[in-house]
Structure 1
Amino acid sequence: MKLHKASAAAAAALVLSLTATACGGDSSDDSGSGDGGGGKITIGIKFDQPGLGLKKPDGTYAGFDVDVATYVAKELGYDAKDIVWKESPSAERENLIANGDVKFVVASYSINDERKKKVDFAGPYFLAHQDLLVRTDDSSITKAEDLNSKKLCSVTGSTSAQNVKEELAPKADLQEFGGYSECLTGLENKAVDALTTDDSILAGYASQQEHQGKFKLAGLKLSDENYGIGLKKGDTELLTKINDALKKMESDGSWQKAVTANFGPSGYKNEPAPAIS
């Protein structure tokens, strides 16, 4: 009889346990990354772009893209502590989204037709222009055509290098690396003559304390780069929610506050917030 009661109690406990587990399902990870947890969201950013997305030595993250992503996540119901940051190099962004490793990517991600075949974009939330970063003492590069027969550096997967190579300076010696930091080292060591990417990214590097006085922007507007937030193709519900968050960020002044905080110290002159399509 005692054995029967013990078995009944164990069975009841098992039912309660299973019920609690089922009820708790709503608080599971919503990141689409498959890494479980309670109410976390995984967002892709750059880790090596000062002013946009930078992982600092203390393990925290800073930059305009980080601020935008944090604001959007809050509008989706996640506090800053609920965010798991995932490094998203240029060449890996589409794969990270398609594989569900991230919920969305905010990583100086220029919207273009080729990328729109693979992912959807919310936004745009920022308008940058392609430019060149050169050494301060180099007066030989004042326009894109001057790059012919010079060593031009950019990152693998970036649209900037291809734009120069195919349209502006076809004889440029293109060097592609995994990150902008490698290009910057090459520029400082005179292994390359110029670094090309968006002016916002270049301004972030040039304004770092250890680089001040070494580099300058050429001041060329070689292209318009509309930054969008990349997400899985066909997720119209999330797309609408992110766009609503971006509109709110601009209207309540948070967008301009983030721009000033991240780009102001470099003297970078940003464009007004673009209209969200």
Structure 2
Amino acid sequence: MKLRKVTAASAAVLALALSATACGGDDKDASGGSGSSGGEKIKIGIKYDQPGIGLKEPDGSFSGFDVDVATYVAKQLGYDADQIEFVETKSADRENALARGDVKFIVASYSINDERKQKVDFAGPYLLAHQDLLVKADADIAKGADLNGKNLCSVTGSTSAQNVKDKIAPKANLREYSGYSECVAGLQSGAVDALTTDDSILAGFAAQDKYKGQFKLVGEKLSNENYGIGVKKGDTATVDKINTALEKMVSDGSWEKAVDANFGPANYENEPAPKIGVVVK
């Protein structure tokens, strides 16, 4: 049953819908309630602090690739943009937010892995990212090994920088900062020589107006990060609906437009849209 707005002028349609439900129809929308009917909202978890991915702007609006994906999916599930309530879901609280029912689904640079799949279900993946390095545009760093003897930004609680030391630059000097924004500022000032995390996140920072042309991605692919949409464990109906929406987003060109809009200024060489249900190891 296609979701649609219901007003007083459509009482006959409402009566027909209720009759169909009474006869055994059990199709549910993504909110677990009446969806766009009556103007109800759907709560979606995103990041608030990742430019190009999920960012809360000073005026209270939201931007980023994950925001565009979430908005598109919600529309396919019957919700207008003004019926979406974006909720900040930090990395450490994503599984709990779904279990508590704080949000219906999460689009927040949420990499699919076996450990997380024990706690939540995933739709997608909708983006394949890789761990990479961000350096100044004029830096003489062409590969990870060039970081030996140089300063590499490490965000507190992140394992990305240690991964660089373990795999490609054992003599890199780790400099710990509280967040990626601080790392980017350190990179700009010369306090550090490189920052490492997912290339999509790095591209998002580099694409900001205040940083355009200042940074470049090195092109190291130190890991495969399959971004999925997290859904409460066992809610297979919502997973199926989201997957259908993602397939349409790719086929009608909206996915590519969202990639270009959010990452294009950083010359991000993104992977093609992944196939739904196929996780690249």
Instruction: Give TM-score, length-normalised by structure 2.
Output: 0.76
Mapped to 2, the partners of 1:166 and 1:116 lie a distance apart of 27
1:149, CA displacement in angstroms?
Answer: 5.2
Mapped to 1, the partners of 2:102 and 2:178 lie a distance apart of 20
Summarize deviations over 1:145-201 as a string: whole Å, max 9, x none: 344554433445556345335444455444555532122122223333321112222
Mapped to 2, the partners of 1:116 and 1:176 lie a distance apart of 30
Summarize deviations over 1:100-150 as a string: whole Å, max 9, x none: 2222111122212232233221100011222101233432x4332344554
* Letter of the 1:257 counterpart: K
Question: Structure 1 residues 182 and 219, CA, compared in 2 at 3 Å: closer, same or farther?
Answer: same
2:233 match: 233
1:253 match: 253
1:274, CA displacement in angstroms?
Answer: 0.5
Mapped to 1, the partners of 2:276 and 2:170 lie a distance apart of 34
* Letter of the 2:142 counterpart: T
Matched residue of 1:107: which SS? coil
* Letter of the 1:258 counterpart: A
Matched residue of 1:243: which SS? helix
Matched residue of 1:51: which SS? coil
Summarize deviations over 1:7-54 as a string: whole Å, max 9, x none: xxxxxxxxxxxxxxxxxxxxxx9379xxxx962111111222222212
Mapped to 2, the partners of 1:50 and 1:259 lie a distance apart of 13
1:93, CA displacement in angstroms?
Answer: 2.3
Matched residue of 1:220: which SS? coil
Instruction: Give TM-score, length-normalised by structure 1.
Output: 0.77
1:115 match: 116
Mapped to 2, the partners of 1:149 and 1:100 lie a distance apart of 47
Aligned: 1:62 with 2:63: yes
Q: How does 1:1-277 map to 2 (within 5 A)?
A: 30=31, 39-139=40-140, 141-148=141-148, 150-156=150-156, 158=158, 160-170=160-170, 172-175=172-175, 177-277=177-277
Mapped to 2, the partners of 1:70 and 1:126 lie a distance apart of 16
* Letter of the 2:243 counterpart: N
Matched residue of 1:225: which SS? strand
Q: Is the deviation greater in 227-236 or in 96-105?
A: 96-105
Q: How many residues align?
A: 245
Matched residue of 1:163: which SS? helix
Unaligned runs of 5+ in 1: 1-28
Mapped to 1, the partners of 2:77 and 2:158 lie a distance apart of 29
1:4 match: none
Matched residue of 1:95: which SS? helix
* Letter of the 1:96 counterpart: A
Question: Structure 1 residues 95 and 145, CA, compared in 2 at 3 Å: closer, same or farther?
Answer: farther
Mapped to 2, the partners of 1:183 and 1:88 lie a distance apart of 21
Q: Is the deviation greater in 261-270 or in 52-61?
A: 261-270
Mapped to 1, the partners of 2:206 and 2:107 lie a distance apart of 22
* Letter of the 1:181 counterpart: S
1:276, CA displacement in angstroms?
Answer: 0.6
